[in-house]
Structure 1
């Protein structure tokens, strides 16, 4: 049973591979940049969830950043949400993708997204730009000898 969705931003691996050429101290800085980007992404996804629908709004409190070199977020899990205390994972997929058989959810989108993936794709240019700036700062700092 899947109880959460993890999201990773594409295109990060080549950058991380190149950053491995920097001194070992760069790892902490790389993780700081990755976490800052994850916080930015989690905030945008949670904001999109709050304005989408009641079910999506319940998921906003479960969206959180994950520490690491690459910007990652998680949502859902076993957290109890709503007035009935339903586990978030029981609402997550229906609120994000809809459903065909369960009438409490909106119609299934067949590959579309109601709130999470839409927010991620909308945030991608900003995340890419900020990641580039973070990597540039990191490389300059270690090029100067920090």
Structure 2
């Protein structure tokens, strides 16, 4: 199966089929490899955070403030970006807009809001526009790890 056939894109995520099994196989070779995958996942998420913050700055207003809460997390089987929290309760309003509260842009939460370009104002649009480029870099890192762990 081609690696690209195992990749699924949707509005909020990119899923790589078999990543968990790949990490398990790497772990069986040496305990250092899952740490390398975890670092690759973190680097991918950190780059997405950087690009999303730049997008939020171009959107301006509350989005710029809310984007300060974006963080990358280290996980072995996923690249995770988190946002919001107690200090940034307006994060989701800044990302998706609102129908009722005027401090936010118009609602872009789903296709039922009358906007067909996809959800979000800064994080989700960045995922949609940058996923292919970031995935190429990420897959190259995984290929390098696989070549190192399983030489021909």
Q: TM-score, normalised by structure 1?
A: 0.79
CA distance in 2, matches of 1:37, 1:75: 16
Superposition CA RMSD, Å: 1.9
Matched, 1:98 2:84: no
Distance 2:52 2:150 in 1: 35
Distance 1:110 1:40, change over 3 A: closer
Matches within 5 A, 1:20-39: 20-22=24-26, 23-25=29-31, 26-39=33-46
Q: What is the aligned partner in structure 2 of residue 84 from structure 1?
A: none
Paired residue secondary structure (2:25): coil
2-structure distance, mates of 1:59, 1:103: 16
1:133 Cα deviation (Å)? 0.3
Report the alpha carbon displacement of residue 40 of structure 1 after superposing the two structures with TM.
0.9
Q: Secondary structure at the match of 2:81?
A: strand
Alignment partner, residue 129 of structure 1: 136
Q: Distance in 1 between matches of 2:67 and 2:98?
A: 20
Supply the distance in 2 between the matched residues of 1:34 and 1:115 (Cα, whole angstroms): 21
TM-score, structure 2 as length reference: 0.76
Q: How many residues matched?
A: 129
Return 5+ residue gaps in structure 1 as ranges.
1-7, 80-87
Give the Cα separation in 1 of the matches to 2:38 and 2:144: 13
The question of whether the paired residues in 2 share the 8 Å contact of 1:94 and 1:105 is answered with yes
Q: Which runs of 4+ in 1 moved over 4 A?
A: none
Higher RCO by CA contacts (8 Å cutoff, separation 6 or greater): 1
The answer to whether the 8 A contact 2:14-2:131 is kept is no
Match of 1:16 among 20, 36, 43: 20
